[in-house]
Amino acid sequence: MRQFTWFNAVSLTFGFAFLYIPMIILVVYSFNESRLVTVWAGFSTKWYGELLQDKAFLQAAWVTLKVATISSTIATILGTMAAFVLVRGGRFFGRTLFSGMVYAPLVMPEVITGLSLLLLFISIGLDRGVTTIVLAHATFSMCFVSVVVSSRMVTFDKSLEEAAMDLGCTPWDAFRSVTLPIIAPAVISGWLLAFTLSLDDLVIASFTSGPAATTLPIKIFSAVRLGVSPEINALSTIIIALVTIGVLTASISTKRAIVRKKRDEQMAQQ
């Protein structure tokens, strides 16, 4: 076991400070009375009230959540299917091309992806809006889901499926009753990753969105170009709070599941 040295302590301190001090400053100034974000004029929560009355921000937040939910669901379904083909499909004509097309968005610059999708939508006459953003986000996030699910299916024991089919299950019933519950954590992780990527995307959404569909990152970026406002600080603080609650909830749930599993194993041994 390595000893915890002063060098490690200093490195961790500077690392965490670099990451979290800007967030702390943002949270503090979201409660600033003054509209000038660099001048502290006292504690106030009025900017949160004004944010809740800003229809433009609320509409952008609703569009973002709707796009993220739909696109991540589509990406999860297609990514899981692609992972199943890559892992279980064996050798088939065009496998190399298929795998390359699945993994290409991982290394493709977002500007190129957004521009190519924009040209595609224009060529087929599809008006830009929520539908085009959903299709674009599902396209680039599907590969991330495929990677996550593939890594789980590589270590999957196929004998479990074979045992289920020996007991009378059809291939679909075996997949639904045996395979899917076992790979469910990877599928859920892929969905959450796709959801996060969609929430955070700015570049691709800038190419594929229209006047009637503005996502929250685009709205924030457009507002920041004119100067940081207290409403943006308040919105960012709410997002940080939601992320913190989600992370803490997931950590507590995981820890409880591990403790419960260890307790069940000890009881089974006794």
pLDDT score recorded for residue 75? 93
Q: Which of 71, 87, 10 is nearest to 199 (CA)?
A: 71
234: tokens are 């308040």
- Where do you find CATH 1.10.3720.10 in the chain? 55-229
The SS3 assignment for 110 reads: helix
User: What is the C-alpha R_g of the chain?
Assistant: 23
Which DSSP letter does residue 210 get?
Answer: B
62: tokens are 């609703």
49/236 Cα distance (integer angstroms)? 14
pLDDT score recorded for residue 270? 66
pLDDT score recorded for residue 88? 77
H helices present in 39-129, as ranges: 46-52, 55-88, 95-107, 110-123
Q: Which residue has the tokens 């400070």?
A: 17
Render each residue's pLDDT in the chain as its tens digit; 270 residues. Answer: 467 678 888 888 888 888 888 888 888 888 888 777 777 778 888 888 888 888 888 888 888 889 999 999 999 999 998 888 888 777 778 778 888 888 888 888 889 988 999 999 999 988 888 899 999 999 989 999 998 888 888 887 778 877 888 788 888 888 888 888 888 888 888 898 899 899 888 899 989 988 778 888 888 888 877 777 788 888 888 888 888 887 788 788 778 877 877 777 777 776
Q: Which of 117, 140, 81 is nearest to 207 (CA)?
A: 117
pLDDT score recorded for residue 77? 93
The residues near 180 (Cβ < 8 Å, ≥ 6 apart) are 187
What is the fold, at CATH topology level, of the domain defined by 55-229?
Answer: MetI-like fold (1.10.3720)
Phi, psi of 210 (to 5 degrees): -120, 180
pLDDT score recorded for residue 267? 74
pLDDT score recorded for residue 132? 92
Q: b or e along 81-112 (b: 16 or more beta carbons within 10 Å of the residue's beta carbon)?
A: ebbbbbbeeeeeeeeeeebeebbebeeeebee
Which DSSP letter does residue 35 get?
Answer: S
96: tokens are 């190399």
CB 106, CB 144: distance < 8 Å: yes
In sign, the C-alpha dihedral spanning 117, 122, 127, 128 is positive
pLDDT score recorded for residue 249? 84
User: What is the 3 state secondary structure string of 205-244?
Assistant: HHHHCECCECCHHHHHHHHHCCCCCHHHHHHHHHHHHHHH
Is pTM beyond 0.85? Reply is: no
